[in-house]
Amino acid sequence: MQRISKEEAIKVICRSEELGINFIDTARGYGISEVFIGDALKDRRKEWIIASKTMARDKETMKTEVEISLSNLNTNYIDLYQFHNVKTMNDYEKILSQDGAYSALEEAMVAQKIRHIGITSHSLDVLRIAVESGKFETIMYPYNIVETQAYELFRRANELNIGVIAMKPMAGGVLTDGTIAMKFILENKFISSAIPGMASIKEVEENSRVGSSFVSLTYEEREKALSDANKLGNEFCRRCGYCAPCPRGIDIPTMFVIRGYKESYNLPTWAEERYHAMKSSAKDCIECGACEGKCPYNLPIRKMLKEVRKTFNE
C-alpha cells in the first residue's frame, strides 16, 4: 500500500473485495499502509478480516501501538494482532515476561480491541516453540517455490488448529510468474492464507483467479517452478539465521531483505533509511568467511554483501 497513492489503494482494496478477497495484512512498520487501509474499509469493515502487527516487545509500548493501529485503521477492533518478526529466543522470552507485550494483548482481548493473537518470524526455531506454547492462534513464515523449509512446522501448526499464513509468496519479488507461485502455495493443505503484496488491480485479478478457480500445477508449470527454484538457489537467502553471529555484528539476512525492498519492491527511500540506520552494514564486512562456513545452502555471502554495498552506493 505504501508504494501507491491513497486513491489507488482504495481502488485495489475495493476490487479485491469484489473478487472475494477478505483478509488483509498490514503492520505498524509499513509506513502509511494502515491509514490507507483504514480509509478504504471505512464503510465496509464487516466484510474484512484485518490483521496488523508491531515490533513492540514490552507491555506499555504494545498498549500504545494497539491504540495507534485502531485509530489508523478506523475501527474499534482488529481481528488479528501479531508480534512482528520475532528474531531470537531473547525477543520471544521478553514478549512473554511479566511486563512483556503479550500481557498487553491479553488485556486488549478482554477489552474487545483485538480478537486473536499471532506471531511472525523468520526463525523456525522460535516458531517451533511458539506453536507448542498454546499462546498463539496464528503463525506467519515465508513459504514459496524457493523456501519450503517450514513444511513440517506448518503440518504441526495445522494439527494444533493454529492458522498458517504464508508470507513472501513471490520470494521477496524475485519470482515473476504469480500464477505458478500462488498455485504452488495453495497446493499445501496446511496453509490457511497467503499474503502476496498487491499494488495494482491487475495483480489482484491475477491472484484472485488462482484462488477462485484453483487447479493444481500442470506438469509444465511444476517443471518451471523447479527450474526457477534451482536458478535462485545459488544466491537466495532463506533468512534461516545460521550464518550468525557475524564477528562484525552484521545482521546478514536483513542486509538482503532491505536490498530486496529497494530493488524488487520499489521502496528506495524506505530501504535507504533502514539500511543506513543499521549499526553495522555490508560495508563492515571483513570477508572472514565465517558466515559461509555455517550457511546450510552454501551461499556466496561475501559476494552477495558486495552486491548490497553497490545497491546502497557504498
pLDDT category of residue 264 using cuts at 50, 70 and 90? confident
Q: Are residues 256 and 116 in the same domain?
A: no
**pTM score of the predicted model:** 0.84
Residue that is written with C-alpha cell 530493488 in the block: 263
Residue that is written with C-alpha cell 506438469 in the block: 219
Residues β-bridged to residue 117: 81
Q: Are residues 284 and 203 in the same domain?
A: no
Other C-beta atoms within 10 Å of 101: how many? 25
Contact present, 277 and 255 (Cβ < 8 Å): no
Q: Pick the range with the lowest mean pLDDT from 17-21, 22-26, 241-245.
A: 241-245
* Residues spanned by the domain of 60: 6-223
Question: At which of 223, 241, 273 does a domain end?
Answer: 223
Q: What are the phi and psi torsion angles at 154 (to 5°)?
A: -65, -40
Q: Are residues 202 and 270 in the same domain?
A: no
Question: At which of 223, 243, 260 does a domain end?
Answer: 223
- Please state, in angstroms and rounded to a whole number, the distance separating the CA atoms of residues 314 and 302: 15
In a domain, 239, yes or no: no
Q: Are residues 215 and 270 in the same domain?
A: no
In a domain, 104, yes or no: yes
CATH of residue 209: 3.20.20.100
Q: What is the pLDDT of residues 181-235, one digit of tens each?
A: 999 999 999 999 999 999 999 999 999 999 898 899 999 999 998 888 887 777 8
Residue that is written with C-alpha cell 477462485 in the block: 212
Across residues 228-246, what is the average pLDDT?
83
Question: At which of 223, 239, 265 does a domain end?
Answer: 223
pLDDT category of residue 102 using cuts at 50, 70 and 90? very high
For residue 289, the model assigns a pLDDT of: 95
| DSSP-derived pairing of the beta strands 23-25 and 114-120 | unpaired
Across residues 86-91, what is the average pLDDT?
94
In a domain, 230, yes or no: no
Contact present, 51 and 24 (Cβ < 8 Å): yes
For residue 241, the model assigns a pLDDT of: 81
For residue 115, the model assigns a pLDDT of: 98
Q: Are residues 56 and 155 in the same domain?
A: yes
Contact present, 214 and 183 (Cβ < 8 Å): yes
- Please state, in angstroms and rounded to a whole number, the distance separating the CA atoms of residues 163 and 116: 11
Q: Alpha-carbon Rg of the chain, whole angstroms? A: 19
Q: Are residues 305 and 181 in the same domain?
A: no
- Please state, in angstroms and rounded to a whole number, the distance separating the CA atoms of residues 241 and 252: 8
Give the SS3 label for residue 195. Answer: coil
Contact present, 180 and 224 (Cβ < 8 Å): yes
For residue 183, the model assigns a pLDDT of: 95
Q: Are residues 191 and 264 in the same domain?
A: no
Q: What is the pLDDT of residues 27-62, one digit of tens each?
A: 999 989 999 999 999 889 999 999 999 999 999 999
In a domain, 143, yes or no: yes
Contact present, 70 and 35 (Cβ < 8 Å): no
In a domain, 189, yes or no: yes
In a domain, 89, yes or no: yes
Q: Are residues 104 and 214 in the same domain?
A: yes
Q: Are residues 149 and 199 in the same domain?
A: yes
Does residue 1 have a pLDDT over 90? no
The number of folded domains in the chain is 2
Q: Are residues 43 and 155 in the same domain?
A: yes
In a domain, 246, yes or no: no
Across residues 55-80, what is the average pLDDT?
98
Q: Are residues 158 and 259 in the same domain?
A: no
- Please state, in angstroms and rounded to a whole number, the distance separating the CA atoms of residues 109 and 146: 36
Q: Are residues 218 and 270 in the same domain?
A: no
Residue that is written with C-alpha cell 500504545 in the block: 64
In a domain, 172, yes or no: yes
For residue 279, the model assigns a pLDDT of: 94
